[in-house]
């Protein structure tokens, strides 16, 4: 007899709760989980998307890199002039986890180089020089494809600070070609006239130095410099500068000879006395000799001085003294 309303086990026919039969153990399988469908999203109001930082999902994996280059890698390996065994090792390494590390290192290196280049190009050499960062100044200028004449002037200043006088003069020559020099560069170059290693290059650098009479006057002051080499090379520069007048060159020769006569080196004194004797015979030099005090310089070479500087000789001193005394009287 069946009792109405009582659930029966479909396996043994006994009463059960519809889930688990206590008599035979029959159990109804649980229903599959419901999958909720996400509501449709409305279309964005604008097609412009604000860029955001990359998420981990946006970073390509090494598997993705291998997937997009299935032919390129074998083709590259096949073209390499290396033994087959080496090619196999490379191929296995490409399939291993080390490939991702290699890609990461390579990418970091490329990013660093690109960033460094962009950073250096964004620096102002003049600002770096003002901060005393001389190596950085030279690095920025050296990285430029075609540095301007003004940058060459700055390069010369930086090289002077580092003690590279030859490099300084070569940089200044390029600045001179672009008429981009200043008083500091001129002073540095005139100082280089007194250095035996740089004197000749300094003369060449100053030959076409822009500035005309102003630069000529600076060089004229240097013809009486205490350093023998500097005053003589300054005289040499005036002899080759197109802007220097014959009168200015003669004045430089007079000043140079008087400075030599008053030198503490016997050979320099003798050369000065001889030069003054030659100049005393030139009428156009007479006012310049008077103004420079040439006769007084020779008159001071008395017997006591000649005994201290035996290379002079009384005859050459007395002969020059007489010639200059005649100039003074006229």
Mean pLDDT of the region 184-210: 97
Mean pLDDT of the region 147-167: 97
Check whether 189 has a pLDDT greater than 60. yes
pLDDT at 102: 52
**Closest to 306 measured CA to CA, from 254, 258, 270, 255:** 270
Check whether 114 has a pLDDT greater than 50. no
**Closest to 140 measured CA to CA, from 156, 124, 161, 162:** 124
Say how many C-beta atoms besides its own lie within 10 A of residue 235's C-beta.
21
Per-residue pLDDT of 230-271, as tens digits, reads: 999 999 999 999 999 999 999 999 999 999 999 999 999 999
Mean pLDDT of the region 81-99: 61
Copy the structure tokens of residue 226: 């205490």
**Closest to 175 measured CA to CA, from 203, 199, 209, 141:** 209
What number of CA atoms fall less than 13 Å from residue 270's CA on the CB side? 13
Say how many C-beta atoms besides its own lie within 10 A of residue 172's C-beta.
29
Contact 169, 202 (CB under 8 A): yes
Mean pLDDT of the region 64-92: 56
pLDDT at 12: 77
**Backbone dihedral angles phi then psi of residue 50, each to the nearest 5 degrees:** -75, 125
Copy the structure tokens of residue 142: 């050296």
Contact 180, 148 (CB under 8 A): yes
- Whether residue 322 is contained in a domain is answered as yes
- Whether residue 55 is contained in a domain is answered as no
pLDDT at 105: 52
Domain that holds residue 290: 245-330
Mean pLDDT of the region 287-292: 96
Residue 52 pLDDT level (bands cut at 50, 70, 90): very low
pLDDT at 15: 73
Check whether 113 has a pLDDT greater than 50. no
Say how many C-beta atoms besides its own lie within 10 A of residue 263's C-beta.
17
Mean of all residue pLDDT scores within the chain: 81
Check whether 3 has a pLDDT greater than 60. no
Contact 96, 102 (CB under 8 A): no
Mean pLDDT of the region 266-281: 97
**Closest to 317 measured CA to CA, from 304, 327, 302:** 302
- Whether residue 258 is contained in a domain is answered as yes
pLDDT at 47: 45
- Whether residue 294 is contained in a domain is answered as yes
Contact 165, 192 (CB under 8 A): yes
Rg (CA), the chain: 46
Residues 6+ away with beta carbon under 8 Å from 100: 61, 62
Q: Which residue has the tokens 């690095």?
A: 139
As a whole-number percent, the residues of the chain with pLDDT over 70 amount to 66
pLDDT at 230: 98
Rounded to whole angstroms, how far apart are CA atoms 175 and 178? 5
**Closest to 223 measured CA to CA, from 214, 242, 236:** 236
Contact 155, 171 (CB under 8 A): yes
Q: Which residue has the tokens 């003002």?
A: 130
Q: Which of 89-103, 166-180, 277-291 shows the lowest mean pLDDT across its residues?
A: 89-103
- Whether residue 269 is contained in a domain is answered as yes
Per-residue pLDDT of 311-322, as tens digits, reads: 998 999 999 999
Query: For the chain, what is the domain count?
Result: 1
As a whole-number percent, the residues of the chain with pLDDT over 90 amount to 61
- Whether residue 220 is contained in a domain is answered as no
Check whether 138 has a pLDDT greater than 60. yes
- Whether residue 330 is contained in a domain is answered as yes
Q: Which of 107-116, 141-150, 296-305 shows the lowest mean pLDDT across its residues?
A: 107-116
- Whether residue 306 is contained in a domain is answered as yes
């Amino acid at each position: 007899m069946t009792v109405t309303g009582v659930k029966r086990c479909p396996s043994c026919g006994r009463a059960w709760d519809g889930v688990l039969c206590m008599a035979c153990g029959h159990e109804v399988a649980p229903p599959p989980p419901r999958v909720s469908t996400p509501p449709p999203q409305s279309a964005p109001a604008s097609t412009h998307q604000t860029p955001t930082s990359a998420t981990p999902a946006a970073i390509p994996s090494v598997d993705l890199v291998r997937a997009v280059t299935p032919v390129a890698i074998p083709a590259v390996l096949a073209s390499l002039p290396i033994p087959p065994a080496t090619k196999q090792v490379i191929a296995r390494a490409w399939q291993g986890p080390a490939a991702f590390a290699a890609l990461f290192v390579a990418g970091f290196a490329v990013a660093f180089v690109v960033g460094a280049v962009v950073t250096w190009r964004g620096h102002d050499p003049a600002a770096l020089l003002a901060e005393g960062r001389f190596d950085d100044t030279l690095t920025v200028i050296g990285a430029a494809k075609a540095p301007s004449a003004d940058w060459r002037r700055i390069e010369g200043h930086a090289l002077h600070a580092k003690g590279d006088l030859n490099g300084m003069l070569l940089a200044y020559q390029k600045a001179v070609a672009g008429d981009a020099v200043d008083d500091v560069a001129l002073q540095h170059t005139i100082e280089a006239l007194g250095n035996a290693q740089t004197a000749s290059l300094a003369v060449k650098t100053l030959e076409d130095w822009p500035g005309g009479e102003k630069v000529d006057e600076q060089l004229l002051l240097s013809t009486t410099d205490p350093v023998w080499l500097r005053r003589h090379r300054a005289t040499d520069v005036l002899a080759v500068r197109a802007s220097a007048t014959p009168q200015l060159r003669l004045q430089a020769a007079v000043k140079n000879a008087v400075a030599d006569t008053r030198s503490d080196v016997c050979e320099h004194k003798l050369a000065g006395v001889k030069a003054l004797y030659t100049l005393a015979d030139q009428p156009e030099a007479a006012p310049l000799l008077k103004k420079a005090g040439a006769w007084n310089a020779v008159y001071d070479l008395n017997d006591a001085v000649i005994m201290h500087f035996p290379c002079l000789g009384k005859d050459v001193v007395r002969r020059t003294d007489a010639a200059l005394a005649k100039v003074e009287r006229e």
